[in-house]
């Protein structure tokens, strides 16, 4: 190589530019995450789905599952074009999960007993391509599960549903302790400093009371495992598992910008191997793996003999780089595994349309169930923006295919009558954006009265809580005036609630506000939802009230 010092300076300059871009991208991701705060009227004005719009994995898998680009952003094409030109720089420069993996990997020097000093290429790095093929095969045959392993969905879901609530609880507990104990030094009170910080946290980050989400323990453990595995192998997730990395690797077989080496200048010191987070074989002249390289420039900077450099090369020119041979049989096996996953997910009465889960209440604007599952990437954006916290991740209610997808749990929170944010922030339009007027008339379920628990029916006590909180202007809950005999023989005229199924939209506030906190006397079920013509209750006779 010529101009060794200029190569060194350029490499260091590019590395610092990369670190700056990584920092900006991670901060932007966190800013957009906090901008997707619970809303009472409209969705956040910030482009909170920006990272998902850039994600070609979401675009391609959703297209395979739905055969349409409706609701998807073609910004993902830009990501693919950048990859064709520069290689997998999206992974090395822009991916926020990759940046977190980098940060965690930098701690490896404190754990020398469990880390290797030099990590060369491993055949197991082919595993991510098999994961990608299996997932795409599932999408193409009607089972969308890409959101479970998509890095943006994984990161957003982990932060929004687990990390932020943990931090929120910690902030609230610390602020309460400081406020009640009020440590002071003369005229200086610690709570004079803690309270403004806590108010800023609530106003800027959470914008709501402390909220938690059910069934998210595995979400948090997976996130922690992704980070901790960097102590075993640097960028473990990116090397071995990430399907987005595999997709981008497929598009970077012959990038315009390639690593070239000078065999005569190389003294086989192994410094480039140690510094390469992708194990892309920079130490082997003519066998550098473009599909694995993050374009971080660490190898160029680490080479003391200036034997390495990135050069512009036309893609039509034959390459002297190595190849990632994944094998035809392994490809077919991966496709078969994907088909087996589809079969496994389809072996439930609910998936086959034989029955409907009464607890599976989807947000307003949700598409018919199979179309919804074909689009939903379980990112958690709709759950985070829900002002009442009623949108919760499913565990088994929607089967394996619907793992961590959103459902309304009225025992926790209701669908705010004046809010339509969930459909506005959904990155794939699994929840369609509705006009507020349309949303207010969209039925997502139906309230039913349990007469064995309802106070007027079961105990002869006055209660009008459900009717008071019903947000429908002409009230979906009304009363029948009936006499109820008391223990002493006296007779009281009480108001017995009844539900009008033509007016009830299933918002769930009646269940949330019911005096029974263990099991509400009025509960919302999925029956009557507009999105499913087969899940409609049969109305017979002249009655218009539903009771158990």
Q: Work out the pLDDT band at 198, boundaries 50, 70, 90.
A: confident
Is the pLDDT score of 240 beyond 50?
A: yes
Gap between the Cα atoms of 533 and 245, Å rounded? 40
Angle at CA 424, nearest 5°, toward 420 and 427?
A: 145
Q: Which residue has the higher pLDDT, 315 or 57?
A: 57
Mean pLDDT for all residues in the chain: 87
SS3 at position 408? strand
Q: What whole-number percentage of the chain has pLDDT above 70?
A: 92
Query: What does 277-300 look like in DSSP terms, one character per residue?
Result: TT---TTSTT---TTT-----HHH
- Tell me how far apart the alpha carbons of residues 179 and 250 are, in angstroms, rounded to a whole number: 56
The number of angstroms, rounded, from the C-alpha of 535 to the middle of its chain's C-alpha atoms is: 28
Tell me how far CA of residue 142 lies from CA of 63, 342, 351, 401, 504, in angstroms.
11, 7, 11, 10, 33
Beta bridge partners of 441: none
Is residue 173 within 8 A of residue 47, CB to CB? The reply is no
Query: Are the C-beta atoms of residues 405 and 393 closer than 8 Å to each other?
Result: yes
Residue count of the chain: 548
Q: Are strands 406-408 and 446-449 parallel, antiparallel or unpaired?
A: unpaired
Instruction: Find the largest Cα–Cα distance for the chain.
Output: 107
Environment class of 450 (CB within 10 Å of its CB; exposed 0-12, middle 13-18, buried 19+) = middle
Structure-model confidence comparison of residues 443 and 66, the more confident one: 443
Lowest mean pLDDT among 10-14, 204-208, 401-405: 204-208
The pLDDT of residue 349: 72
Name the pLDDT band for 39 (thresholds 50, 70, 90): low
pLDDT at 331: 79
- Measured between alpha carbons, how far is 229 from 104 in angstroms, rounded to an integer? 9
More reliable by pLDDT, 284 or 376: 376
- Average the pLDDT over 488-502 and give the result: 89
317 pLDDT more than 70: no
pLDDT in tens, 73-125: 888 999 999 999 999 999 999 999 999 999 998 888 776 655 555 678 888 99
Report helix, strand or coil for 295: coil
CB 397 within 8 A of CB 358: no
pLDDT at 500 over 90: yes
pLDDT tens digits, 151-172: 999 999 999 999 999 999 998 8
Among 41-55, 164-178, 209-223, which is the least confidently predicted range? Answer: 41-55
Q: Which stretches of 471-521 are DSSP H helices?
A: 509-513
Contact 32, 51 (CB under 8 A): yes
Give the model's pLDDT for residue 543. 52
pLDDT at 509: 97
Residue-wise pLDDT tens digits, 243-259: 999 999 999 988 999 99
* Contact of 79 with 54, CB cutoff 8 Å: yes
Task: Output the CA–CA distances (angstroms, integers) from residue 420 to 42, 391, 425, in the order listed.
Answer: 6, 13, 9
Query: What's the predicted TM-score (pTM) here?
Result: 0.91
Residue 188 pLDDT > 60: yes
**Cα separation, 355 vs 348, whole angstroms:** 9
Q: Which residues contact 402 (CB under 8 A, 6 or more apart)?
A: 373, 376, 394
pLDDT tier at 541 (50, 70, 90 boundaries)? very low
Write the DSSP symbol of residue 161: I
Which tokens in the block code for residue 80?
Answer: 């693919």
pLDDT of residue 368: 94
If you ran DSSP here, which 8-state letter would residue 231 be given? G
Q: At residue 62, does pLDDT exceed 50?
A: yes
Highest mean pLDDT among 133-137, 305-309, 523-527, 541-545: 523-527
Distance between CA atoms of residues 248 and 545, nearest Å:
56
- Which residues lie below 8 Å from residue 336, measured CB to CB, with a gap of 6+? none
In the chain, what percentage of residues exceed pLDDT 90?
54
Summarize the confidence of residues 516-528 as an average pLDDT.
95
CA atoms within 13 A on the CB side of 403: 15
> What's residue 229's pLDDT?
94
* Residue showing tokens 């009557």: 528
Of 491 and 114, which is predicted with more confidence?
491
Query: Which segments of 36-93 does DSSP mark as H helices, in order?
Result: 50-53, 56-66, 75-86, 89
Read off the pLDDT of residues 337-391 as tens digits, 9 standing for 90 and up. Answer: 777 776 677 777 777 667 889 999 999 999 999 899 999 999 999 999 999 999 9
Distance CA 492, CA 291 (A): 79
Mean pLDDT, to the nearest integer, of 32-53?
A: 80
The per-residue pLDDT for 364 is: 97
Whether 101 contacts 227, CB under 8 Å: yes
Per-residue CA distances from 404 to 153, 161, 219, 227, 257 (Å): 11, 10, 9, 21, 39
494 within 8 A of 484, measured Cβ to Cβ: yes
Alpha-carbon dihedral sign for residues 6, 9, 11, 13: negative
Q: Which residue has the tokens 């901060």?
A: 27
pLDDT at 305: 84
**Secondary structure, 3-state, 127-148:** HHHHHHHHHHHHHHCCCCCHHH
CA distances from 61 to 25, 69, 398 (A): 24, 10, 20
Q: What is the mean pLDDT of residues 186-206?
A: 85
Q: Sorting pLDDT into bands at 50, 70 and 90, what band is 319?
A: low
Predicted pLDDT at 3: 54
Q: Which two tokens stand for residue 429?
A: 């339009």
pLDDT value at position 138? 87
What is the DSSP annotation of 361-389? Answer: -PPTTBPPHHHHHHH-----HHHHH-TTS
CA gyration radius for the chain? 28
The reported pLDDT for the residue numbered 344 is 72
Is 70 exceeded by the pLDDT of residue 316?
Answer: no
The pLDDT, as a whole number, for residue 539 is 55
């Amino acid at each position: 190589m010529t101009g060794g010092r200029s190569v060194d300076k350029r490499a260091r300059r590019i590395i610092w530019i990369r670190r700056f871009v990584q920092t900006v991208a991670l901060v932007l991701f966190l800013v957009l995450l906090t901008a997707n705060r619970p809303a009472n009227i409209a969705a956040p004005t910030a482009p909170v789905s920006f990272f998902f719009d850039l994600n070609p994995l979401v675009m391609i898998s959703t297209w395979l599952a739905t055969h349409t680009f409706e609701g998807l952003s073609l910004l993902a094409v830009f990501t693919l074009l950048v990859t064709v030109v520069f290689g997998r720089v999206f992974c090395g420069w822009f991916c926020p999960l990759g940046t977190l993996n980098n940060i965690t990997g930098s701690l490896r020097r404190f754990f020398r007993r469990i880390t290797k000093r030099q990590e060369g290429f491993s055949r197991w790095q082919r595993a991510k391509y098999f994961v990608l093929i299996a997932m795409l095969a599932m999408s193409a045959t009607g089972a969308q599960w890409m959101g479970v392993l998509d890095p943006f969905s994984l990161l957003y879901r982990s932060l929004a549903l687990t990390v932020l609530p943990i931090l929120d609880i910690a902030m609230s507990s610390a602020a309460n302790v400081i406020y009640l104990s009020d440590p002071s030094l003369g005229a200086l009170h610690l709570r004079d400093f803690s309270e403004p910080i806590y108010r800023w946290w609530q106003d800027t980050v959470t914008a709501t009371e402390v909220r938690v989400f059910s069934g998210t323990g595995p979400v948090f453990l997976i996130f922690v495992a992704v980070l901790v595995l960097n102590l075993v192998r640097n960028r473990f997730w990116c090397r071995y598992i990430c399907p987005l990395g595999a997709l981008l690797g497929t598009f970077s077989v012959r990038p315009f910008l390639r690593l070239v080496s000078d065999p005569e200048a190389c003294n086989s010191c192994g410094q480039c191997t140690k510094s390469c987070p992708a194990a892309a074989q920079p130490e082997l002249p003519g066998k550098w793996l473009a599909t694995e390289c993050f374009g971080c420039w660490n190898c160029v900077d680490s080479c003391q003999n200036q034997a390495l450099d990135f050069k512009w090369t036309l893609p039509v020119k034959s390459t002297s780089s190595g190849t990632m041979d994944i094998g035809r049989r392994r490809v077919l096996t991966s496709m078969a595994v994907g088909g087996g996953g589809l079969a496994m997910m389809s072996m439930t009465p609910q998936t086959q349309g034989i029955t409907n889960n009464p607890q599976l209440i989807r947000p307003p604007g949700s598409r018919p169930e199979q179309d919804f599952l074909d689009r939903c990437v379980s990112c958690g954006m709709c759950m985070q923006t829900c002002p009442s916290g009623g949108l919760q991740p499913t565990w088994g209610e929607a089967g394996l295919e619907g793992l961590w997808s959103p459902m309304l749990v009225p025992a926790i929170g209701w669908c705010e009558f004046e809010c339509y944010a969930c459909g506005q922030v959904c990155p794939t339009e699994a929840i369609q954006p509705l006009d507020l007027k349309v949303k207010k008339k969209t039925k997502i379920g139906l309230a039913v009265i349990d007469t064995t628990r309802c106070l007027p029916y079961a105990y002869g006590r006055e209660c009008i809580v459900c009717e008071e909180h019903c947000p429908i202007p002409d009230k979906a809950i009304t009363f029948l005036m009936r006499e109820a005999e008391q223990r002493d023989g006296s007779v009281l005229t009480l108001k017995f609630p009844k539900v009008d199924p033509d007016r009830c939209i299933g918002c769930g506030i009646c269940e949330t506000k019911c005096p029974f906190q263990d099991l509400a006397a009025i509960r919302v079920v999925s029956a009557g939802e507009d999105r499913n013509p087969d899940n409609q209750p049969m109305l017979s006779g002249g009655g218009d009230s539903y009771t158990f």
